[in-house]
Amino acid sequence: MKIGIISDLHIDVNSNEQVSISDFEKIVGNEILKQKIDLLLIAGDVSNDHVLSHQFIENVKQLTNRTILFVPGNHDYWMKGQEDKDSNKVLDYFKVQEESIIEKPYIINNEWAVVGHSGWYDYTFAAKRFSIDQLSKRTYNGRVWQDKLNTDWKMDDPALSKKFASAVQADLEKVKDKKIILMTHMVTYKNFGVKMPHPMFDYFNAFIGSSDYDQLLEKYPIKYSIMGHVHYRKREKQNGITYICACVGNRNEWHTVDVTTEVKQALQIINI
């Protein structure tokens, strides 16, 4: 079975007069069909709007007739400009969808299962010189981490990370007799944080990943840990686990101006 992995498509900010959102759907759909992918995993950040993100997934599914599994990224939770920004409501919106694997692991076959969640950041990826107090301001040198303005989880970030990681642990328990593909949006692997020292990311790495997964990666038969968020395209194996980051990322980070090329380069494959 051929599994495709992609993340951080950001279809709204990456679309323009030449490439519409429906072009994005066709480009991703064509790539799935061309590469004969059986199952597509999308590790979050489809767009800045949950309805648009869901619609995109539905449309790609229609175009390809393939199974798509999804976990929302921080951007998919954004409620820009809305008065009531209860992110828990957006989580509830995503949870009931067929493609969501939050609190419902997907059994591929007798041997393999996919477990997933958005995950959240717990500040442990930041340089040690910053205090929790400084980090919880989510503001540094005049720059504000945008989740502060566009989400509201009614709890602090490290607590949210713990809450999501324990939901993941409950799901891992359900399928621990199988080989597991873990899909999160947030980074589970410190090597995929932005390389320090860095003038901004010594601080902003706080909002990239979480150490709450370390013990889960050790304890459960996780063979792949796939993620998005940091807009890398990387694959690294350590202690028998392959870590994959398959981000399309934002247009201004691309080496080309061509969406098809970028989607093709970002898409990673695993064969099981």
* Binding site residues, Fe ion, CB under 5 A: 8, 45
Q: How far is the CB of 158 from Fe ion (least distance, A)?
A: 21
Q: Least separation, in Å, of the C-beta of 6 and Fe ion?
A: 12
What's the half-sphere exposure (Cβ side, CA atoms, 13 Å) at 16?
8
Q: Tokens in use for 212? A: 């709450």
Query: Shortest distance, CB of residue 53 to Fe ion, whole angstroms?
Result: 12
**Tokens standing for residue 92:** 């509830």
Question: CB of 81: closest distance to Fe ion in angstroms?
Answer: 19
Of the two residues 8 and 25, which places its CB atom closer to Fe ion in the complex?
Answer: 8
CB of 229 to Fe ion, least distance (A): 6
Question: Is the dihedral angle over the CA atoms 242, 248, 250, 255 positive or is it negative?
Answer: positive
Can you tell me the distance from the alpha carbon of 10 to that of 21, in angstroms, rounded to the nearest whole number? 10
Pick 45 or 122: Cβ nearer Fe ion: 45
Pick between residue 54 and residue 178 the one whose CB is nearest to Fe ion.
54
Q: What is the DSSP letter of 52?
A: H
- 184 CB-near residues (< 8 Å, 6+ apart): 43, 71, 116, 117, 118, 119, 168, 213, 225, 226, 227
Q: Which is nearer to Fe ion, 87 or 113 (CB)?
A: 87
CA distance 171 to 106: 10
Nearer to Fe ion, 45 or 147 (CB): 45
Alpha carbon distance 123, 37 (integer Å): 36
- Looking only at the bridges linking them, the beta strands covering 2-6 and 39-42 are parallel
The secondary element (H helix, E strand) that includes residue 225 is strand 222-227
Nearest to Fe ion of 74, 220 (CB atom): 74
Residue 74 Cβ vs Fe ion, minimum distance, rounded to whole Å: 7
